A and B are shown apart, each in its own frame.
Chain A
Amino acid sequence: MLLLAGCGSSDNGSSTNSNELQKLGKGEGQVNLISWAGYVEPEWTKPFEQETGCKVNDKVAGTSDEMVQLMRTGQYDGVSASGNATARLVDGGDVSPVNVSLVPNYKTIFSDLKNQPYNTFEGVHYGIPHGRGANLLMWNSENVKPAPDSWNVILDPKLAAKYSGKISAYDDPIYIADAAVYLKYHQPDLKIESPYELNEEQFEAAVNLLEEQRPYVGEYWSDAAKQISAFAGGDSEVGTTWQYQYFALKGEGKPVAASPASQGFLPKEGATGWSDTWMISSKAQHPNCMYMWMNYIVSPKANAEVAEFFGEAPAQSLACAQTADKEFCSKYHAEEPAFWKRVYYWETPLADCGNGSSDCKDYNDWVKAWTSIKG
């Protein structure tokens, strides 16, 4: 992966520790952020502004692609990037390494979020983990029986036919990785290592699986509100979801279920998920304020607030003591490394497979294939 980073951005000078901030100075008065909806809200930005004097200007982005595009304008100081954007940002020279010694709260971040392939490149830290979530299998507990323990209920054509028209799938090219997670378990002869590094044969198998699934899909969802209304209205009965929708529907008293504790809360194949990282722009005009923000957003109280507001597991281990709902961290498995071991966090598919060969399908191929799958 990093080989590519080396050749791709050689004209910008290689990204080494030399361009990371060495000493924190005075705040510049403001900071311009790009974030997911719900990551930057007045409840926790107001105290930050009072504390540091850095006024927060936030631009909400709808997708990882949009985040990459906005960062390339060079007008922002930082971004809350998911793993399917981070490598692209590092490759493009759009972000700088982060000096974690200037972020005191980094020390108490869950250790299984540190030094991950989507936030640390060639041993250099490129961001501060913010929070994470898993893509769950959710079903209508009244109509879907027996309770499924595998993704086969929506991915094996024979079983999927039973819920034809009631299946809910995520509307994004990255959903191809869900099929790859399934194939990794059920077809070991394909030798899939990472669901985000697929060669021609593996990629074709995953795409074929989703093409077979296509006629049974009732709805592809892209925003949480759309899926909640589909499950509430009876249009969807089984499919992939985020923890947020699951708890929202449960809160409304709808008959929904997800994999129980006896299965480690995930289908037996494991699942895809996301882990978001605050990154600092290589062209940041307010680097001191950005460092203060990165430290603040993973401080126990603020990280608890944002995790509860958004509906994901906090990155800060001390945040669990600060949540309003005392059950929150156990609901979202924040403190269970065994749960997260089975989650394949989103990464950017690159042509470079990470094993020296570069015959993997890159993200552009994924986008084109996704258009063909949906037809």
Chain B
Amino acid sequence: LSRRLASFFHGRPHLQVGTLLAAPMGWLAIGYLGSLAVLLIAAFWSVDPLSGEIVHNLGIENFETLVNEPVYRHIIQRTVVVAALVTVTDAVLAFPIAFYMAKVASRRGKAILVVAVLLPLWSSYLVKVYAWRTMLSAGGVINWALAPLGLHGPGFGVTAVWLVMSYLWLPYMVLPIYAGLERIPNSLISASEDLGASPFTTFRRVILPLSFPAVIAGSIFTFALTLGDYITPKLVSNDQFIGNVIANNISTDLPFASALALVPIVVMVAYLLVARKLGAFEHV
């Protein structure tokens, strides 16, 4: 049979590729895009106030609530602002690390640094957040270290969420930038120097434009991960993020939760469009 199959596929390259890709493409279409479509439709349904059952009539009440109730506007605003802050923080922290890894460190040092960046990803997410919780607590190590200076730490709150998220997602920013910088030939940097550019000019005119797509790639990770997370806010603050409200509503008002779940998707699409405008995908 296998021989017959082989001769059947021989000379039919389109069929070969099609068969090979059928399973993953089917998964993408049904499992991924299909569930997104259901989410989109569910956002227009509503819940019968008496029985709590879902009513399959299309309407836009859920979106009206989202726009008209100030509490949801605040929560969306808070989530997007923190996501942006985390992204900027990670980009600023990650760039020097990635640059050192790609251009300065020895081969051995490079390997050690890559492992060091990856190492936190090997431990559980919850362990890391709980560790931060202990450090940020009133009697924690941050307050203890700042006490001699007459200062105290941020405690639990939005600042804590920003700190913890910046820590959690840093590797997702370092690795793409590192990969992007690796691909810039050293000869370009030497050429820039030979032509009389100062190190700053070289950085601004040569390195930054060439590594920009990598920074955007990293920022997509950090931004999207922050938009979707709801456990960190729960553990180190009292403030609700989009994910928390979705989790609260999912069993009593699924349509409303779906409408809210569309918000991060819309924000992400807008973000990607802006990134494309800035030319982030041109050199990829």
Chain A residues close to B by CB (< 8 Å)? 4, 7-8, 63, 65-66, 68-69, 88, 91, 165, 171, 173, 217-220, 222, 226, 229-230, 233-235, 351, 358, 362-364, 367-368, 370-372, 374-375
Lowest 10 A-B CB distances belong to which pairs? A65-B251, A233-B137, A234-B138, A234-B139, A8-B51, A364-B252, A235-B138, A233-B139, A372-B71, A367-B252
Is B238 engaged at the interface, CB distance under 8 Å to the other chain? Answer: yes
Q: Check A375 against B239 for contact (C-beta < 8 Å).
A: yes
Having A233-B137, A233-B140, A367-B253, one finds 5 other A-B pairs with CB under 8 Å, namely: A219-B238, A363-B252, A364-B52, A368-B253, A372-B69
Neighbour of B49 across the interface among A69, A91, A362, CB < 8 A: A362
Give A375 to B74 CA distance when docked, in angstroms: 8
A236 and chain B: residue at smallest CB distance? B138
Q: Check B156 against A219 for contact (C-beta < 8 Å).
A: yes
Neighbour of A235 across the interface among B137, B234, B240, CB < 8 A: B137
Is B198 engaged at the interface, CB distance under 8 Å to the other chain? Answer: no
B74 and chain A: residue at smallest CB distance? A375
Is B201 engaged at the interface, CB distance under 8 Å to the other chain? Answer: no
Chain B residues close to A by CB (< 8 Å)? 47, 49-53, 69, 71-72, 74-75, 130, 133-134, 137-140, 155-156, 234-235, 238-240, 245, 248-253
- Contact A235 B248, CB 8 Å, known A222-B234, A374-B240: no
Neighbour of B134 across the interface among A7, A69, A173, A233, CB < 8 A: A233
**A62 nearest CB across to chain B (Å):** 10
Give A171 to B75 CA distance when docked, in angstroms: 17
Give A277 to B76 CA distance when docked, in angstroms: 38
**B252 nearest CB across to chain A (Å):** 5
- Contact A65 B239, CB 8 Å, known A8-B50, A235-B138: no
Q: Check B251 against A68 for contact (C-beta < 8 Å).
A: yes
Q: Check B253 against A364 for contact (C-beta < 8 Å).
A: yes
Give A8 to B51 CA distance when docked, in angstroms: 6
Give A233 to B138 CA distance when docked, in angstroms: 6
Give A354 to B248 CA distance when docked, in angstroms: 26
B135 and chain A: residue at smallest CB distance? A233
**B155 nearest CB across to chain A (Å):** 8
Neighbour of B252 across the interface among A7, A65, A165, A235, CB < 8 A: A65
Give A123 to B227 CA distance when docked, in angstroms: 49
Q: Check A371 against B252 for contact (C-beta < 8 Å).
A: no
Q: In the assembled complex, which residues on chain B have CB atoms less than 8 Å from the CB atom of A219?
A: 156, 238
- Contact A88 B52, CB 8 Å, known A367-B252, A367-B253, A371-B71: yes
A8 and chain B: residue at smallest CB distance? B51
Q: In the assembled complex, which residues on chain A have CB atoms less than 8 Å from the CB atom of B71?
A: 371-372, 375
Give A229 to B249 CA distance when docked, in angstroms: 27
Q: Check A229 against B253 for contact (C-beta < 8 Å).
A: no
Q: Check A374 against B238 for contact (C-beta < 8 Å).
A: yes
Q: In the assembled complex, which residues on chain B have CB atoms less than 8 Å from the CB atom of A363?
A: 52, 252
Give A4 to B50 CA distance when docked, in angstroms: 8
- Contact A173 B140, CB 8 Å, known A8-B51, A374-B238, A375-B71: no
Give A370 to B253 CA distance when docked, in angstroms: 14
**B75, B138, B140 pick with most chain A CB within 10 angstroms:** B138
Q: In the assembled complex, which residues on chain A have CB atoms less than 8 Å from the CB atom of B245?
A: 371
Give A372 to B245 CA distance when docked, in angstroms: 10
- Contact A69 B251, CB 8 Å, known A4-B50, A8-B50: yes
Instruction: Name 11 interchain pairs, CB-CB below 8 A, sorted by A.
Output: A7-B51, A218-B156, A235-B139, A358-B50, A363-B52, A367-B253, A368-B253, A371-B248, A371-B249, A374-B239, A375-B240
Q: In the assembled complex, which residues on chain B have CB atoms less than 8 Å from the CB atom of A229?
A: 130, 133-134, 137
Q: In the assembled complex, which residues on chain B have CB atoms less than 8 Å from the CB atom of A368?
A: 253
Q: Check A66 against B251 for contact (C-beta < 8 Å).
A: yes
B47 and chain A: residue at smallest CB distance? A364
Neighbour of A226 across the interface among B53, B138, B235, CB < 8 A: B235
**B132 nearest CB across to chain A (Å):** 12
Q: In the assembled complex, which residues on chain B have CB atoms less than 8 Å from the CB atom of A165?
A: 155
Give A374 to B47 CA distance when docked, in angstroms: 23
Q: Check B49 against A370 for contact (C-beta < 8 Å).
A: no
Q: In the assembled complex, which residues on chain B have CB atoms less than 8 Å from the CB atom of A91?
A: 51-52
Q: In the assembled complex, which residues on chain A have CB atoms less than 8 Å from the CB atom of B138?
A: 233-235
Neighbour of A234 across the interface among B53, B74, B137, B250, CB < 8 A: B137
Q: In the assembled complex, which residues on chain B have CB atoms less than 8 Å from the CB atom of A226?
A: 133, 235
Q: In the assembled complex, which residues on chain B have CB atoms less than 8 Å from the CB atom of A66?
A: 251
- Contact A217 B234, CB 8 Å, known A65-B251, A367-B248: no
Give A165 to B137 CA distance when docked, in angstroms: 12
**A131 nearest CB across to chain B (Å):** 24
A166 and chain B: residue at smallest CB distance? B138
**A360 nearest CB across to chain B (Å):** 11
A62 and chain B: residue at smallest CB distance? B247
**A43 nearest CB across to chain B (Å):** 25
